[in-house]
Structure 1
Amino acid sequence: MSYPSRLTRENAALLIVDHQVGLYTGVRDIDTLSLKHNMVGLAKASAALKIPVVVTTTTEGLWGPLIPELGQALPGIDRIERTTVNAWDDARVVAAVKATERKNLIITGISTDVCLALPALSALAAGYTVYAAIDASGAFTKQQADAGVMRMVQAGVVPVCHSNVIVEILADNAAADANAVYAALDMPFAGLVAGLNQYFSGNN
């Protein structure tokens, strides 16, 4: 398998699948505070980079609404509520992704082995280069998460973490939107280093 092309502002889109209140209650392979931190950081940073974002939920009467933190991170965004298990089986979701005109697709979902893996595999088959944001997804057991990731990797999906895809897209720390991106990612150590640099430069 050849290495896929680099992610950029011009070629990447983000698909967020089923980050719903009810599904979060079952996540066991990552603590929900870390999951929310990573998902919200990915969403906010994508918005700062002006990357198109598609949001879908499934059967909210059963699994509840979108988590409020994500709604606050993406104010005014329309979500697609569907009933299909595989988000890619809903024509509206496929149409929304196609409308971005991007061929590199970052996907995150609850759960990793279903809501992430199934549309990731379908998008891959449809000709997209697919990146699975593993640490912004969650599963109901570690075994389910591991099995889902292995299935995706064997098919050619690229596993990533939320921050490394974002900094790859940012590309240059001198970019005008760099501060907004790092603020969105909310990496405490980065703030500490910046503060120390400012302190010591002011005392030289």
Structure 2
Amino acid sequence: MTVNQSRYNHNPMRLSSTTEGSIKKGLKGASLLMGIVILVLSITTEHAVAAVENLQVRQMLTENSGNGILDARDVQILFVDLQPELISSSRTIQPAALTANAAVLAQVARLTHVPVTFSIVPVQGKPGRNLPALTPYVSPKNTVRRVMAGTFMEPRLVDALGAYKRKTLVVAGYATEVAVLQTALGALKAGYTVYVVMDVTGSRSERTEDAAVRQMEMAGAIPTSVLAIAAQLAPDFSRTPGSEVLLTFDSLSPP
């Protein structure tokens, strides 16, 4: 009897070349599909993370600045190291302009019943003094002397600001890279919403001042001007105190 050897040599687990080729193509297709899925998920995840980060930034800005308009009842102003001997070296704004604008800001504060605080440092071993133009607004009660670069390193000043229970702090001073920068960062850390008045801050270098301003902005501080602050504290110029605030604008000096 003749035996069909092919029947016995046939391996049921062995696939035909056609079937094997189809499976390989299928696996390649599945791998490609899986790769596309992973890529899509990766892109989607990145977009989702970016969206969350953007939302967090928007929420932070909302929490820090409310509706973006200052409320005079929640504002206080801090003048830092605006001293004749210090501002004389200012190059980003002329000392005369810095002085004039500081006086206007202090006058606006008085007209709108916004409390002000002055912080000064010793100069060449002698007690510091505020700009003469600020003298009408200075008193022993609202002046805090310190020796630290940062105002928030001085507990007495921290307590003085906290006593007002106003959480929006407007900062003006000299120099932008030192006293103003450290004040802004310290205030932000302490939970204040911080505005930096750029036409009442000065520096010896435009380049280094720009870097300090960028650092403050990245931390959450808001650059502004005397005019912008004044118009928000007293927006109705048809009656007091807005009409009186309006008169101070003529005394402003461009940087």
Moved over 6 A (4+): none
Identity of aligned residues (%): 27
Q: Does 1:161 align with 2:236?
A: no
Is it true that 1:143 corresponds to 2:207 in the alignment? yes
Please tell me whether residue 37 in structure 1 is matched to residue 100 in structure 2: yes
Conservation of the 8 A alpha-carbon contact between 1:7 and 1:169: yes
Gaps of 5+ in 2: 1-57
Q: Is the 8 Å Cα contact of residues 237 and 246 (structure 2) preserved in structure 1? A: no
Q: 1:46 to 1:176 in 2, by over 3 A?
A: same
State the match for 1:53 in structure 2.
116
**Contact persistence 2:195–2:221 (CA under 8 A):** yes
- Structure 1 contact 42–185 (Cα < 8 Å) conserved: no
Contact 1:17 1:57 in 2 (8 A): yes
Superposed CA RMSD in Å reads 1.7
The superposition leaves residues 41-73 of structure 1 with CA deviations (integer Å, 9 ceiling, x where unpaired) of 11111111000101110124358421111113x
Structure 2 counterpart of 1:193: none
Q: Which residue of 1 aligns with 2:70?
A: 7
Aligned to 1:182: 246
> 1:62/1:152 Cα in 2 relative to 1: closer, same or farther (>3 Å)?
farther
- Relative distance call for 1:69 and 1:47 in structure 2 (3 A) is same
| Residues in 2 aligned to 1:143 and 1:40: alpha-carbon distance in whole angstroms | 26
Mapped contact 1:22–1:63 kept (Cα < 8 A)? no
Higher relative contact order (CA 8 A, sep 6+): 1
Encode CA deviations 1:156-188: one digit per residue, 9 max, x unaligned: 100001110111111212232123212333358
Secondary structure at the aligned position of 1:117 is classed as helix
SS in 2 for 1:123: helix
Deviation track 1:93-149 (CA, whole Å, cap 9, x = no partner) reads 111111111011100110011111101111101111000111101011111211110
SS at match of 1:55: strand
**Higher-helix-fraction structure:** 2
TM-score with structure 1 setting the length: 0.86
Please tell me whether the aligned partners of residues 108 and 137 of structure 1 are also in contact (alpha carbons under 8 angstroms).
yes
